[in-house]
Structure 1
C-alpha cells in the first residue's frame, strides 16, 4: 500500500540533468523492450567508475582508473542488449564528434564515452538490441529537461527479483534523483535490472521483487534465502544495476573514483541481495566542475549514496507492467500495489 514515504519518493523533484554541464537522453525501441540512455558532458567531466557486480559488461572503464592518463570524458552510455548493447556507445561517440567535443589529438578530437550494459535479451527477439544508431538517437534527444523514468531507455527491458525464476519476477526500470547543498548539485540516473528485491531506502519496506508461487504477493527473497529456500540457477550476467552519479563540484580523478565507490552504498540501501555473482553492478561518476566549488568528500559522498538510493527506488516505482512471451504479464509495483489495495477494500 502507498504510504507517505512512498509518496515522498514519488514526489521527489530532483533529477540528474540539474547538474550544470549535464544533458540526458533516451532511445526506446518500438520493436521489443530495450533501449539506451546517455548522460552527456560535451565540455568534459572528470570521471571515475566502480564495478561491484561479478558479471559486468563495460566499455572504456580502464581509462578511468585514477592512475591512468586521461582525466576527462565526454559522456556515459547505459544500455540494454547485454554485450551487443555496447555498440550504442559508438553512436554517442559519432554524435559528440559532430559537435566538436572530445580529446584534442591535433588532427581531430576523440570523444571518450565509457559504457555499461544490462541483460534484457530474454524479452522478445534477442536480435533486436541497441546499436550505434540507437546511441546517436539518444544523444539527439538529450536535454537538460527532466528525463523520462520507468520503462524507457536502458530501463525499458529491465526485470528485477529473478532469484526464484523469471515467472515470479517483476518489472524494473530507470530512475533519477538529485540533491543540492550550498550551490552544489549531485544527481543520479540508475537502470535497475537487479537479481534481488528493491526496498524503500527510508523505511526498509519491500517494494518489488520475487513474488510468491501464486504471483499475488511479494515473497521477500532475503528472508526466504535465510530460511533455507534454494534459489533457482541463474544465468551469469543476466542481471545488473548500472548508473551514473554526477556533480557540478570540482573534483580530482581520485575523488571522482571515491564518489563512484561510495555511491554503491545507495544500491545497498535499496537492493537486497546486491552485487551478486550474477549481477554486473557498475556505477560511473562525473564531475563537471561548473559550480566552481566543492563541499568536501564527506558531504558529496553522502549526497551520492542518497541520490542513488532514491533513483533506484524510483526506477521500480515508475516502471510499467509488461507482457512476456510464453509467460504471464510481468507486473510492476504500480500493478501489484493496485491489486493489494483492491484486495484490502474487498475484505
Structure 2
C-alpha cells in the first residue's frame, strides 16, 4: 500500500465517536476526550518508562471487559487523572456505561502528560474539566474540524528538553485521519516529547532542542546525547510523554486492537528522535467501533494505516502549535 492509497478525511468522519477539549490557556494545561456513546473495542500499547495512566490493565486481551466508553488525554501529570472521573460522571448522567445490574459504570481510560513546569503548576485538569470536555464532545458541533495545536491536552506540551525548558520548543495536539475504501482510521496525538519532532518523509526537524535559549537553530538531540555520554541527564526526570488515541471503524477484537496499537507506536520512532526514553511515558490507545461494512482489510493493513495516521497527527501536533509562556513554536520560525 502506498501513501497515495490513503485519502485524507476529517477525524470526525471516522466513526460514531465524539471529540471535545477543555483548555486553560493562561495556566497552560487542558484535557481532550474521545467518547464512544455505543462503546468501542479498546487496545493499548505503553512503551515509555514513565506513564501516568488509568485502566490500561483492563485493556489486556485476557481481561473480561470488552468495550470502553471514552479515552481522556490530559495535562497535569498524575493529578490530571482526576479529569477521567469527570468524564465518567458526565457519561453516567447521560446513561452511557457498562450495565453492572446495580449501576451503569462508564469505562474511561486515561493518560496524562507532564505540563506542570510549563504554566501554572497549581492548575490541573480536574473533575470539572473532564466533565466540560465531555459536554463539548457530546453537545458540541462535530461537523467542524477538531481544533489542533495548543489546545486541550496539548496546551502545555513541549519538545526538545535535553538542555532544559529554556531551549525547548512548543509541542501540541494533532488530529489526522484517512480512508482506504470503507476503512477509516484516524489519530489524536499529544506531543510532549523529550526528543525532537521530525518530518518522517524528509527527516527534517520541525521543532526541538534549540542550541541556546535565544537561538532559532535546532540541535540534533541524538548527537547531543552521544556527545554528552556519561554526563547526559535530564534537568527534570519523567517530565515527558507523548500520548495518542487511534480511532477506527474496523471490526477488531481486543487482541487485534492491541496489535494495531503496537504497530502504530512505530510512528513515534518515525517522528520523535529519540523516543520511548526512560523520561517519556509514551502510550497509544485504540478505539474500534466495528461499524465498517463489507469486506475488511487484513489486520496488517489496518495497523499500517493507523501508523500513517499517527505520523500525520504527531507532525500536526508540533506544526499547528503556537508559542506561549516564553516557549516558541515551529511556526514562529517559519
TM-score norm. by structure 2 comes to: 0.93
1:87 aligns with 2:89: no
Residues in 2 aligned to 1:29 and 1:332: alpha-carbon distance in whole angstroms: 18
Map Cα deviations across residues 292-314 of structure 1 (whole Å, 9 max, x no partner).
Answer: 35211111011011011110000
8 Å CA contact 1:33, 1:157 repeated in 2? yes
Residues in 2 aligned to 1:320 and 1:13: alpha-carbon distance in whole angstroms: 24
Give matches, 1:177-188, under 5 Å.
177-188=176-187
Residues in 2 aligned to 1:121 and 1:227: alpha-carbon distance in whole angstroms: 29
Instruction: Say if 1:317 and 1:252 are closer, same or farther in 2 by CA, change over 3 A.
Output: same
Structure 1 position 125, deviation (Å): 2.5
Structure 1 position 209, deviation (Å): 0.1
Tell me the residue number matched to 1:302.
Answer: 304
Structure 1 position 13, deviation (Å): 5.3
Tell me the residue number matched to 1:133.
Answer: 128
8 Å CA contact 2:25, 2:155 repeated in 1? no
Q: Which of the residues 316, 320, 323 maps onto 2:322?
A: 320
1:20 aligns with 2:15: yes
8 Å CA contact 2:8, 2:178 repeated in 1? no
Tell me the residue number matched to 1:343.
Answer: none
RMSD over equivalenced CA pairs, Å: 1.6
Q: Which moved more, 1:28-37 or 1:165-174?
A: 28-37
Tell me the residue number matched to 1:155.
Answer: 154
1:333 aligns with 2:330: yes
Tell me the residue number matched to 1:58.
Answer: 53
1:164 aligns with 2:163: yes
8 Å CA contact 2:83, 2:128 repeated in 1? yes
1:222 aligns with 2:222: yes
Residues in 2 aligned to 1:227 and 1:235: alpha-carbon distance in whole angstroms: 19
For the residue of structure 2 that corresponds to 1:96, the secondary structure is: helix
Q: Which of the residues 101, 110, 119 maps onto 1:106?
A: 101
Pairs aligned (count): 322
Tell me the residue number matched to 1:344.
Answer: none
Give matches, 1:269-284, under 5 Å.
269-284=270-285
Tell me the residue number matched to 1:29.
Answer: 24
For the residue of structure 1 that corresponds to 2:285, the secondary structure is: strand
Tell me the residue number matched to 1:5.
Answer: none
Instruction: Say if 1:208 and 1:30 are closer, same or farther in 2 by CA, change over 3 A.
Output: closer
8 Å CA contact 2:87, 2:131 repeated in 1? yes
Structure 1 position 30, deviation (Å): 4.3
Structure 1 position 24, deviation (Å): 0.6
8 Å CA contact 2:86, 2:130 repeated in 1? yes
Residues in 2 aligned to 1:225 and 1:292: alpha-carbon distance in whole angstroms: 48
1:251 aligns with 2:248: no
Unaligned runs of 5+ in 1: 1-7, 324-328, 338-347
Residues in 2 aligned to 1:25 and 1:103: alpha-carbon distance in whole angstroms: 21
1:120 aligns with 2:115: yes
Residues in 1 aligned to 2:220 and 2:58: alpha-carbon distance in whole angstroms: 39
For the residue of structure 2 that corresponds to 1:134, the secondary structure is: helix
Map Cα deviations across residues 263-311 of structure 1 (whole Å, 9 max, x no partner).
Answer: 1011111100000000000010010001235211111011011011110
Structure 1 position 127, deviation (Å): 1.4
Instruction: Say if 1:51 and 1:15 are closer, same or farther in 2 by CA, change over 3 A.
Output: farther
Map Cα deviations across residues 194-244 of structure 1 (whole Å, 9 max, x no partner).
Answer: 000000011111111001124221111123223446544343320000010
Map Cα deviations across residues 121-161 of structure 1 (whole Å, 9 max, x no partner).
Answer: 01232111100100111011115332100000000000110
For the residue of structure 1 that corresponds to 2:265, the secondary structure is: helix
Structure 1 position 179, deviation (Å): 0.8
TM-score norm. by structure 1 comes to: 0.89
Tell me the residue number matched to 1:345.
Answer: none
